[in-house]
Structure 1
Amino acid sequence: MRQAQSVLTLATRGQGLVEITAEVARWVAAQGMETGLLTVFCRHTSASLLINENAAPAVRRDLERYFAKLAPESREYEHDDEGPDDMPAHLKTALTNVSLSIPVADARMALGTWQGLYLFEHRTAPHRRQVVLHMMGE
């Protein structure tokens, strides 16, 4: 059994879904492990991770609109230390995932045909985000 770990640094343009499937797939392939388990971990409290459809751009737009309605900016939140998008970003993160486990088979993520891996930026300003990749396998 082998292990590998790396940090992927991503630049976001502000709120929205950033597909990271290709970057993660390249890293997995470079590890030379045929089978295993990949853990993807977002090191932030105002961004998260999703696996969702990557074929139709409308899916991303609908997800972004849904979460904007679900946790809108408001002056009613007590926590607003970094601005009006601060607490809504934390709520969106709480409702999604900061860690994903993805099986690896034949040296590739065992994602379904239409599945993609996304970093979901919840803040309005651009950020540099870190995603830790950890793989165990052989």
Structure 2
Amino acid sequence: MKAVVYTHYGTTDALKVKEVEKPAPKDNEVLIKVHAASVNSWDWDLLRGRPFLARLKGLLKPKYNILGADIAGRIEAVGSNVRSFLPGDEVFGDLSGCSWGGFGEYVCADENALSLKPAGMTFEEAAAIPQAGVLAL
């Protein structure tokens, strides 16, 4: 699968589109085909490694090589312990507490980080809600 990857802190020049291994869900995770992801200040902070607190999980190099926390997409597979979702469900959520990786074609996420996407909402609209919506509140 393709993903926007970074291996060192820096500016947008550090971002590269690369072919990476498609993730597989753990027992409590779902595999999501990402249809939309939004960019926000947390992505920028992690990319730059600033403020210094952004490096808590990766002092010298990033812990997560694929940014993107706010996503919307369709579930393709579920782990054996997942009870809230089924393959085919349309979901959205904030992955910053579990995995990041929304700037890839696929991402795995803990089921607790997700909600069902409202039927009348586009994937793009849903992906813009999680962090921006909470900050607006």
TM-score, length-scaled by structure 1: 0.25
Larger RCO, structures 1/2 (Cα 8 Å, 6+ apart): 1
Structure showing greater radius of gyration is: 1
